[in-house]
Structure 1
């Protein structure tokens, strides 16, 4: 196996680990936001993550050039705004519809890659996007109507897609520590600003909430951002987006394992479609004689 294939394979495994961590957090988030405001939870979570990352990666952060610092900060602001819009949308629509509409970044990502960076995708990638979308629909939807919550969530999906595209274009393997830290600063700044009209964030109310928030901050926040930033330096944006659509599959799996949900044919069918999409973008390029257009990684 070549170094390129090995790096791409490790990047995929890293991104799968991140989506598994994200999938494990749904029950924790639900428990915490029932006892403290959502905006406060986000602000405390990302502020802790930002402080930890700045302390740990102070040297790589100082080594970043001005352009990389500004790009990382902009990507963090995009991600922070996406988190806020997604949360506001979730307050106005059902969790299942929110999960499906958020997952639409898998459709928006290749469109933005084409429009912004002129990255054309082979037909297998578009087929994988379609399979992933169908899988998300089977997993999440029992009914659907467009309302304010859906529109807010769709806006968040567009920002997530823009973050994925920008990160894939600007992230370099050697800058992963510094880039992930400056992004977390941007996310924390947005979330803290949102709480200012109400006097700033309130702290978690008890020890159990603190444990959940610390897990979300350090594992699902700082560690996940670091791995995603490193992984996207080794794979195209659309491929990363398709791999990340496994998040609801992991979420459903954890829900079944924890006894929150019962395994259903819809879970199996939707999960199979999402996994088939990931299989296509992971293995199809290896069976092509020529290097696909999607594998051309642009660096600035």
Structure 2
């Protein structure tokens, strides 16, 4: 009976964690519309610096006592996670200058397969549900984001490094989240990203004299919900689920972004893109429902 009870609790915690990550993907997807509008009036790294700084201050005030007691190992882990997070944004931003948004969206989504591949390299072999789910998700991402094929360019290479960075961010979070206070990890990685973004912004962008309404709205919907709370939820959830499952769930982000575009901007999806959304959803369900006979 104790073994059965423990197994039930573990399964419930994993399901709760996965549902929380789906909520994070939803928030990131629906806020994409606001961010896209804001970036017409402000530099990318300036926006990121302000967004992450607000998020850091919010969490720092909320968890100030925990932060005051944080030891160097937790701080170091947070800096590692934050460095991968910043690198993901930096490579993606640089790559977008030399490639199309559709190619960048697909290549960034390759983190879905990079996570289990990198996990396998560290001798943590993905189970069958992860392999099937990742395959379906990548096929869905291709259909959803690629309209004119994928011709490899310098920008594509940069975005591929972005995908590697985001994959390493998920893996590092999965490694450190069970070992340290999730609230400390979330707060300090956000602070590290804000600092790095601010340094790049100061050297390459000009701060606008006045923040437009679009920028203020984007900051309002991203700084706390899509940054402070989202990364807090991710860090907490990855205590109970694997990096590979996390990556598959995050493949839902472009699906939610597409749906937000339909509802908020009146955009439409082609039959190919609808099929892509279905495959990504199928990949997520496969990772959740298929029996796992291997280690994940």
Give the TM-score of the pair, scaled to structure 2. 0.92
The answer to whether 1:130 aligns with 2:130 is no
Residues 168-227 of structure 1: CA deviation (Å, up to 9, x unaligned):
111028711111001101111110111122477446522442121122111111111101
Report 1:6-85 matches (<5 A).
6-85=12-91
Return the alpha-carbon distance in structure 1 between the equivalents of residues 295 and 204 of structure 2. Answer: 49
Return the alpha-carbon distance in structure 2 between the equivalents of residues 67 and 13 of structure 1. Answer: 29
Q: Structure 2 stretches of 5 or more lacking a match?
A: 1-6
RMSD over aligned CA atoms reads: 1.8
Per-residue deviation, 1:84: 1.3
Per-residue deviation, 1:145: 0.8
Counterpart contact for 2:140–2:279, Cα < 8 Å: yes
Equivalent residue, structure 2, for 1:278 = 284
Residues 209-263 of structure 1: CA deviation (Å, up to 9, x unaligned):
2121122111111111101101111101101100110001111111111243113
The answer to whether 1:140 aligns with 2:142 is no
Return the alpha-carbon distance in structure 1 between the equivalents of residues 269 and 114 of structure 2. Answer: 30
- Counterpart selection for 1:180 from 180, 186, 190: 186
Give the TM-score of the pair, scaled to structure 1. 0.91
Equivalent residue, structure 2, for 1:298 = none
Return the alpha-carbon distance in structure 1 between the equivalents of residues 151 and 270 of structure 2. Answer: 24
Return the alpha-carbon distance in structure 2 between the equivalents of residues 13 and 124 of structure 1. Answer: 17
Counterpart contact for 2:46–2:205, Cα < 8 Å: no
- Counterpart selection for 2:109 from 103, 109, 124: 103
Equivalent residue, structure 1, for 2:3 = none
When residues 47 and 202 of structure 1 are mapped into structure 2, their CA distance, relative to the original with a 3 A threshold, is: farther
When residues 150 and 128 of structure 1 are mapped into structure 2, their CA distance, relative to the original with a 3 A threshold, is: same
Report 1:250-269 matches (<5 A).
250-269=256-275
Report 1:104-119 matches (<5 A).
104-116=110-122, 118-119=123-124
Equivalent residue, structure 2, for 1:89 = 95
The answer to whether 1:293 aligns with 2:295 is yes
Counterpart contact for 2:78–2:185, Cα < 8 Å: yes
Counterpart contact for 1:43–1:192, Cα < 8 Å: yes
Counterpart contact for 1:173–1:230, Cα < 8 Å: no
